[in-house]
Chain A
Amino acid sequence: MGVAGLVVLRRSSGGARHLILHAACTIQAPPVKVFAIWGDPDQQARLRRAAVTRLEGEAERMHWQRELPGGGRIEGEVRITHSQAAERIEWVTENLRLRLRRGLPARRLHISPRGLLSLRSLQEGRACEVRLSLAVDQAPPLPWFRRRMQMGLHHTLRRLRALAETGELATIAGQPSGRRHGWVRTLLPPQREPSAEPEPAERTG
């Protein structure tokens, strides 16, 4: 592709109820390293922002679950169906269950999304082109969901690139600010200074 970090999103539909999503980017890291990150449950947890565990005794299966706003949860099991070191990895997600809200029972979703991550070596193995595809046999009914899924693919690749290139994800979570919440802030009087203010006293230079 020639331009690192340029993530190309493209979507094509193979029928009214079928959805295929694509995303691609270039990563300044060897394919072996990117492949290893993708296969590591700890790194998958960071990529998917979900809790990921390898199922005991099953090297090719991982369980993941992600908490949703309002106490909801989505979870499933990823089974790797084909893998070729540093080149491609294919998987299917099974037993998808969704709980919309805390206290409600989880519902089984009768879909089994299939994924493909393919890697192509660039710059004599120092970089690689990464293509990520997701096929869903039942497309979500609302365009909003489809856009969210596209964004999810995009974000996953962006995080994969950051982890492969720097070993960490940039964050501001937990940094200080002057933000206050709710009623505490509304009780504070506005502190805009009047325009006709006294001049500052000190001047140098």
Chain B
Amino acid sequence: MLALCWYGKNDVRVETVPEPTLLNPTDVILRVTRTAICGSDLHLLDGFIPAMAAGDILGHEFVGEVVEAGAAVTKLRRGDRVVVPFAIACGQCYYCKREQWSLCDNSNPRPEATATAYGDASSGLFGYSHLMGGYAGGQAQYVRVPYADVGPLKLPDGIGDEQALFLSDVFPTGYMAAENCDLEPGDTVAVWGCGPVGQFAIRSAYLLGAGKVIAIDAVPERLHMAAAGGAEPLPYDQVDDLQAELKWRTAGCGPDACIDAVGLEAQGRTAGAIYDRIKTRLWLETDRADVLRQAMLACRKGGTISVPGVYGGLLDSLPMGAAFAKGLTLRLGQTHVQRYLQPLLERIQQGEIDPTFLITHRLPLAEAPRAYRMFRDKRQGCIKVVLDPWAESQAA
């Protein structure tokens, strides 16, 4: 089968690899019908995430059709169309029973290194390094899905693959980011980063009652898309003082909640951004935390910082004094996708949101290496690429 494999920093290729097989009785094999490139996949391309091995298959956003089910699978049958959460969960451990699916105790087959680095290991993830279990990802024609009775959601007729695809990650991630803000009706939310997660965070904030959402980015087409979702665009490269601008737009208070949908690869021209670039190059810190600093300073007293953007290591010079003095609440973590699958599917069915608004490019899987670079470099108005694993095969 064809699969997108990682071979090193800036080196991903579509290769022919063996098809997956059932390894445990609770596995299913999916024929992937659509898959997408996530912003967090770019951290792999850019070499920010350790413990990748040459040849690893990437991809954690995918939908597909069951072609084979293990003996212990009871809820899925051959032919079922499903969307699969990016975090793998066993459904039986302490955390799964509390719906903290992405903290699953049992789904990471290699938790030792993560437990050593972080104090404990979280769940396994598809296609996201051997720290997260080393599972082969879904940017391929077939993928093995473990604990298939727990994660995948069967798709009803009338819901297309592309409508369901973003339930695997970015829609629930944006939604959980907004939910973590504990919004009161009419609250103002500032969202840093208008990539896919930011776009869903903006729309989710309105679904949850926000009165105003301020979208902060420097890429015009992302700000346009944010504005189409009802947000007030704030092109941060065109303002001298972001903090003053946010105070101005919030009547001197600051946003009630701030969402960092950027994470560890924050870019910018601020002193903090330059400081981060130097320190990461000198290996004195691993993550560029400029957005998190800005959010901590901007947020109103008693407000909430919600962090769906991925951080992987060590951050420097965070204004913890400001966070303490202002009594901020910090909420973060991988998304518990399984918790949101059914409710968000119902919102799609009821027409409250059509997730396909996000798609800017549709390409065959064979074009994935170029698509990665186009997405990373924000060329051609690229915000979200959907890949068809079978397009080239059908053409051939």
Residues of A within 8 A of B (CB): 3-7, 26, 28, 127, 151, 154-155, 158, 161-162, 165-180, 185, 190-193, 195, 197, 199-200, 202-205
Whether the Cβ atoms of B106 and A165 lie closer than 8 Å is yes
Considering the chains assembled together, what is the distance between the CA atoms of A167 and B19 in angstroms?
Answer: 25
Closest chain A residue to B142 by CB distance? Answer: A176
Whether the Cβ atoms of B55 and A155 lie closer than 8 Å is no
Whether the Cβ atoms of A168 and B105 lie closer than 8 Å is no
Whether the Cβ atoms of B360 and A203 lie closer than 8 Å is yes
Which B residues lie within 8 Å of A155 (CB)?
112
Closest chain B residue to A6 by CB distance? Answer: B120
Name 23 A/B residue pairs within 8 A (Cβ), A-sorted.
A5-B93, A5-B105, A127-B94, A165-B105, A165-B106, A166-B90, A166-B91, A168-B25, A170-B108, A170-B124, A170-B146, A172-B109, A173-B23, A175-B136, A175-B144, A177-B56, A178-B15, A179-B53, A200-B367, A200-B370, A200-B380, A204-B362, A205-B360
Whether the Cβ atoms of B362 and A178 lie closer than 8 Å is no
Closest chain B residue to A175 by CB distance? Answer: B136
Whether the Cβ atoms of A28 and B94 lie closer than 8 Å is yes
Shortest 3 CB-CB distances between A and B: which pairs? Answer: A4-B94, A178-B5, A179-B55
Considering the chains assembled together, what is the distance between the CA atoms of A88 and B99 in angstroms?
Answer: 32
Considering the chains assembled together, what is the distance between the CA atoms of A187 and B309 in angstroms?
Answer: 39
Q: Is the interface of B mostly helix, strand, loop or mixed?
A: loop
Considering the chains assembled together, what is the distance between the CA atoms of A172 and B95 in angstroms?
Answer: 22
Considering the chains assembled together, what is the distance between the CA atoms of A190 and B193 in angstroms?
Answer: 34
Residues of B within 8 A of A (CB): 1, 3, 5, 7, 10-11, 13, 15, 17-21, 23-26, 53-57, 72, 88, 90-95, 97, 105-112, 115, 120, 124, 133-136, 140, 144, 146-147, 356, 359-363, 367, 369-371, 373-374, 379-381
Which B residues lie within 8 Å of A172 (CB)?
23, 109-110, 133-136
Considering the chains assembled together, what is the distance between the CA atoms of A195 and B109 in angstroms?
Answer: 37
Whether the Cβ atoms of A178 and B109 lie closer than 8 Å is no
Considering the chains assembled together, what is the distance between the CA atoms of A177 and B143 in angstroms?
Answer: 11
Which B residues lie within 8 Å of A191 (CB)?
7, 11, 13
4 A-B pairs besides A5-B120, A166-B90 with CB distance below 8 A are A170-B133, A175-B135, A178-B56, A205-B361
Q: How far is the CB of A42 from chain B (nearest CB, A)?
A: 15
Which B residues lie within 8 Å of A180 (CB)?
55
- Of B55, B93, B146, B360, the residue contacting A178 (CB under 8 A) is B55
Residue from B54, B106, B112 having most chain A Cβ neighbours under 10 A: B106
Q: How far is the CB of B7 from chain A (nearest CB, A)?
A: 7
- Of B24, B110, B374, the residue contacting A168 (CB under 8 A) is B24
Q: How far is the CB of A165 from chain B (nearest CB, A)?
A: 4
Considering the chains assembled together, what is the distance between the CA atoms of A174 and B13 in angstroms?
Answer: 21
Using A193-B370, A200-B367 as known contacts, say yes or no to A4 and B379 having CB atoms under 8 A apart: no
Which B residues lie within 8 Å of A5 (CB)?
93-95, 105, 120
Whether the Cβ atoms of A170 and B105 lie closer than 8 Å is no
Which A residues lie within 8 Å of B57 (CB)?
176-178
Closest chain A residue to B22 by CB distance? Answer: A174
Considering the chains assembled together, what is the distance between the CA atoms of A171 and B90 in angstroms?
Answer: 12
Which A residues lie within 8 Å of B147 (CB)?
166
Which A residues lie within 8 Å of B133 (CB)?
170, 172
Using A6-B120, A178-B15 as known contacts, say yes or no to A203 and B373 having CB atoms under 8 A apart: no
Whether the Cβ atoms of B362 and A176 lie closer than 8 Å is no
Whether the Cβ atoms of A204 and B359 lie closer than 8 Å is yes
Which B residues lie within 8 Å of A161 (CB)?
93, 105-106
Q: How far is the CB of A124 from chain B (nearest CB, A)?
A: 15
Considering the chains assembled together, what is the distance between the CA atoms of A190 and B23 in angstroms?
Answer: 33
Whether the Cβ atoms of A199 and B55 lie closer than 8 Å is no
Closest chain B residue to A190 by CB distance? Answer: B11
Residue from A26, A154, A177, A185 having most chain B Cβ neighbours under 10 A: A177
Which A residues lie within 8 Å of B120 (CB)?
5-6
Closest chain A residue to B6 by CB distance? Answer: A178
Closest chain A residue to B9 by CB distance? Answer: A192
Q: How far is the CB of B10 from chain A (nearest CB, A)?
A: 6
